[in-house]
Amino acid sequence: MNMTTDIYSDKAIDLVIFTVANEKTIREKVWADLISPEYVVKGKGEDLSLFVITIPTDHSIYPNVASNRVLPGGYLGKTESLEQASRRILKDRLGLSLTTKIRQLGIFDNPNRDPNDRVLSFAYWGMVNFEDIRKYLGGKEQVGLELVSSQTFMNLAEKDFGPIDNFDGISRFGNRRMPNAAKAIGHNKMLTKDLPSGRILGLDHDDMVFYAWRQLRHAFDGKLDPFRYLGINPLGDEFRLSDLQDFTEACRGERVQRDLFRRQMMSLEKSFIRSSGRTDSSRPGKPANLYSLSAPPPVDKVSDGD
């Protein structure tokens, strides 16, 4: 393990790392106690869910933090760039050598964010394929997954908040209600501190997850290729359009009308997928056309500081 001897203990690095997995994979490959809240399978098993990676709170460092879970994090080394420190912390805390893109989320500077000291946190976010993180779940660091959004969650949320169409995305870490000109209501953001369920993670990590998720959603906007933007492909070499729609909806925390989504994907602006010329008959109903990526997601070049 690569340890840095000189660190700045007032400059923290916190990492929001997302992944997606379907219900069948969760049932077969993940212990129930690694998922929070306890994952209840409802549906056909192919639906994807969006998760964020968490670790237990070190109460020797944060004795006043009530939550049992936080984001993986650490401190900036004297000779490191912020990105180098982020990748070292991922290796140290998760065992993960990340080759996908990580993006700076921002600086979290609430004077009360750390109960013991005045600490600035430089937050980064990224996304990994589930199979790349699965072997590191549990273990010495008790790495786990916290649910961010899923079809099941959206179905339950509608009972509390009304139709999902009224929101510009909804997640367990917060939501943003669409404006209503007739009622003179603008965008209304709600974080976990405003929600009946309350805070999920310790420190200000709920806010980090929310704002990282808001940036993640942009991967599916406009002309962007979400696979290149995120640097991952969780759908495999060939996939149905319904799989891509499921990926989009899980990450955005909203639903898209099926025919509208198909037209969007078939437009010239969405040229990042192409027909594979094959069909899939493995599921009930008529065979579905299969698609593949026009180009594989790029591998991010990791700076070595030279």
Give the CATH number for residue 179.
3.90.79.10
Per-residue pLDDT, averaged over 49-74, amounts to: 86
Residue 112 lies in a domain: yes
Segments forming the whole domain that contains residue 161: 8-225
Query: According to the model, what pLDDT value does residue 191 have?
Result: 92
Residue 171 lies in a domain: yes
Comparing CA positions, the residue from 60, 87, 70 lying closest to residue 2 is 87
Could you read off the pLDDT of 65-112 as tens digits, one per residue?
777 899 999 888 888 899 889 989 888 888 887 777 889 999 998 877
Residue 74 lies in a domain: yes
Query: According to the model, what pLDDT value does residue 187 have?
Result: 67
Residue 297 lies in a domain: no
The answer to whether the CB of 102 falls within 8 A of the CB of 215 is no
Residue 157 lies in a domain: yes
Residue 190 lies in a domain: yes
Query: According to the model, what pLDDT value does residue 304 have?
Result: 41
Q: Per the structure, how many domains does the chain have? A: 1
Range scoring the smallest mean pLDDT among 59-68, 192-201, 240-249, 276-285: 59-68
Could you read off the pLDDT of 230-257 as tens digits, one per residue?
999 999 999 999 999 999 999 999 998 9
Residue 152 lies in a domain: yes
- Encoded tokens for 304: 């070595």
**Percent above pLDDT 70 for the chain:** 87
Residue 119 lies in a domain: yes
Q: Is the pLDDT confidence value at 3 over 60?
A: no
pTM check: above 0.95: no
Extract the runs of DSSP E, i.e. beta strands, from the chain. Answer: 7-22, 35-36, 48-56, 69-70, 73-77, 102-108, 120-127, 144-150, 167-171, 174-177, 188-191, 273-280, 288-293
